Chain A
Amino acid sequence: MSVSPLALAARSPRRTLLYALPVIAVLLVLPWVADQYSTILLAYGLVMAIAALGFNLLLVYTGLLSFGHSAYFGVGAYAVAMMVKYLKVSSMELFVVGAIVASAAVSALFGFVCVRYTRIFFSILTLALSQVLWSLAFKFFWITGGTDGLRVPTPSLLGVTPGGDKIAFLARGYYYYVLVLFLACAAVMWVIVNSPFGKALQAIRDNETRASFVGVQIWRCRWVAFVVSGVFTGLAGALWVPLNGLTTPDILHWQFSGEIVFMTVLGGFRTFAGPIVGAVVFNYLKTYAVGYTVYWQLLLGVILVTLVLSLPTGIVGMVERLTERVRRRRATAS
């Protein structure tokens, strides 16, 4: 039996595109079919999907559970708000660049400390550092607006200042803006996890000692992964602000980090698409839960516990298992 080494090497981009294309088509058409409200919710979901993708680079590919990703999301969002308040910037492109620079700087600093630890110590350290930022944003209200937060008006996209209805702007122009950035982020992340660097991360996750004895520089690789993860999350924060119109310390609080963890688990963190699906679904879920009952936390908590107890592979894992079963049944039938 002859095996082609290339066939074994990894999944080809072509096969992934085969799955991705119909989804992209749906995402493109949706604003013309769905109402504005649902479209904006989807935009929220896509923004959170970028954050979840970044988070999952650490969780599944590096084996590090961060409970402090709110820090980078918040830094991205506050970077935008500060640019508005102090620099009178209104261009979304500049916001994106500013948020990337700010979140890269903060995650480089925090990551430098955190990647020296693993397991629970990593989780607690990331949580602690994010809480430092939260308490600063909370207490230095003359800079950050405190609990009132900072307002962010609708930005200009590619130099075009939107006129008229804000809702319409968010549901059309801004939605597509978010969609393009989301697709770019997903593509970049897909390349990263399938790169030699991605392989090295997985090797570190599986066996740190051995990885160092094949010449992989453990801390360096983890640190780079940490910064990439932070930048993705920071970018998500920047895209989130115009949707929300306001940034408050809530997005720096560790419970927000918990939500990022939640959505990743919901979608299924063992797969590349899991966090994306999880983020979009979580966003709808939370919105409806909040609208349906004041006890939405209770509802989400029950869902999370049930999920972890009985469905640890998440939505994507479940769908994969179901399609596999159907396929097998068909194979035996024919």
Chain B
Amino acid sequence: MDFLLIHLLNSLLFASVLFLTAGGLSLIYGVMRIVNLAHGNLYAFGAYVTAWAIGGVLAGAPTPLLYLLLPAGAVAAALLGAALEPTLLRPFYKRAEEYQLLVTFGLLMILEDLMRLLWGPYPLSASALWENSGSVTISGNPYPNYNLVVIAIGLVAAVFLWAFVYKTKFGVVLRATSQDMRMASALGIDVNRVYVQAFTLGCFMAGLGGAMIVPRDSAVLGMGVDALVLAFIVVVIGGLGSLEGALAGALIVGVVRELGITFFAEIELAVLYLIAVLVLLARPAGLFGRP
């Protein structure tokens, strides 16, 4: 039983981070009908900023202070998103989908190297936070407390997001715009503003995902692309544009990854992609998506 518990916790750990990353991607698509190929880089950016703050600038500070620094990456990613949307993406909404994909692909290449330029080619660690957090004992094995924190943050983020989208006025505007952009615009909603807000929020989520995982995994080059690939699988399974879908997809992928690491490491990614392909075949819009 305890053995199962550890697997379950690990699955939830993966799912938390996946939900934040994929949820951001999905939110952006849902509102703006844009698939941001550079989304993974915003996740990586969040990881780097937090690692730089915790592991570099304020290394040695007391643990509670380090926890306060955790969201730094998320805020940085949000700021970056807020700057990118009006400058790079806005000119493309009226043009063919191909161009949007291309420009975000270009952005992916740029951000990938910018991070190398800023933080160098070596991994950036923030493990102090992970180490200082101690561990609990589950069936005689130590289990890091920090993992539990990540799961908790993921849970809180999901609840907040749900409340935000379904219980606030901004959420209504957001959903109206995603339903029918032209109608929303005719009703006096400032679509440009909604877009920049949605994009910023999506980037914030990605950045938070990266910031949360970095004390455990450290920031490395290429982590953005890996995250993007997994986020794709999540949204394809759950349904592009749906937050519920992102949650369901993240849980499924989290469990499969955890099982994969234990039982079928060689074909873990292949299995994930095959699941995605099967879902696409059975339900092209994903489990929760609307066609």
A residues contacting B by CB (< 8 A) are 59, 65, 67, 113, 116-117, 119-121, 123-125, 127-129, 131-132, 134-136, 139-140, 254-255, 258, 261-262, 265, 294-298, 300-305, 308-309, 312
Contact = CB atoms under 8 A, between A and B. Distances in A.
B269 A131 contact: yes
B5 interface: no
Given A305-B107, A305-B110, A135 B102 contact: no
Interface string B249-291: 0000000000000000111111001101100110010000000
A123 B101 CA distance: 10
B273 A261 contact: no
A294 B114 CA distance: 11
A136 B142 CA distance: 33
A265 B91 CA distance: 18
Contacts of B95: 312
A113 B106 contact: no
A89 B97 CA distance: 44
B101 A298 contact: no
Contact of B277 (A129, A262, A304, A312): A129
B99 A312 contact: yes
Interface of B: 35, 88, 91-92, 95, 97-99, 101-103, 105-114, 116-117, 225, 229, 232-233, 236, 240, 265-270, 273-274, 276-277, 280-281, 284
A297 B109 contact: yes
A2 B97 CA distance: 41
A308 B106 contact: yes
Contacts, number: 116
Contact of B102 (A128, A132, A294, A304): A304
Contact of A139 (B35, B112, B265): B265
B236 A124 contact: yes
Given A117-B280, A119-B97, A128-B236, A261 B267 contact: no
Given A67-B101, A262-B105, A302 B110 contact: yes
B236 A298 contact: no
A298 B109 contact: yes
Given A120-B35, A255-B225, A128 B233 contact: yes
A304 B106 contact: yes
A127 B91 CA distance: 26
The 9 A-B residue pairs with the shortest CB-CB distance, nearest first, are A301-B109, A298-B113, A135-B269, A304-B106, A301-B110, A305-B106, A139-B266, A132-B273, A297-B113
Nearest to A140: B266
B103 A139 contact: no
Contacts of B105: 258, 261-262, 304
Contacts of B103: 304-305, 308-309
Contact of B270 (A135, A300, A304): A135
Nearest to B99: A308
Contact of A124 (B102, B232, B267, B281): B232
Nearest to A134: B269
A300 B109 CA distance: 7
Nearest to B102: A308
B276 A139 contact: no
Contacts of A113: 277, 280-281
A265 B281 CA distance: 30
A261 B95 CA distance: 17
Contact of A129 (B267, B273, B284): B273
Contacts of B268: 135, 139
24 contacts: A120-B35, A123-B35, A123-B101, A124-B236, A128-B233, A128-B236, A128-B276, A132-B269, A136-B270, A139-B265, A139-B268, A255-B225, A258-B105, A294-B116, A295-B117, A298-B109, A298-B113, A300-B106, A301-B108, A302-B110, A304-B103, A308-B103, A308-B106, A312-B99
A197 B200 CA distance: 45
Contacts of B270: 132, 135-136, 139
Contacts of B98: 59, 65
A117 B236 CA distance: 13
Contact of B240 (A120, A127, A300): A120
A312 B106 CA distance: 14
B101 A65 contact: yes
Contact of B232 (A117, A119, A127, A296): A127
A132 B268 CA distance: 10
B280 A121 contact: yes
Contacts of B277: 113, 125, 128-129, 132
B245 to A, nearest CB: 14
Q: Which has the most chain A C-beta neighbours within 10 Å: B229, B273, B277?
A: B273
Contacts of B108: 258, 301
Contacts of B225: 255
B276 to A, nearest CB: 5
Nearest to B267: A139
Nearest to B269: A135
A304 B265 contact: no
Contacts of A265: 102
Nearest to A141: B266
Nearest to B280: A125
Given A258-B105, A295-B117, 7 more contacts: A128-B236, A135-B273, A139-B265, A139-B270, A255-B225, A301-B106, A305-B88
Nearest to A121: B284
Nearest to A125: B280
Contacts of A127: 232
B114 A298 contact: yes
A18 to B, nearest CB: 31
Contact of A132 (B91, B101, B274, B284): B274
A104 to B, nearest CB: 20
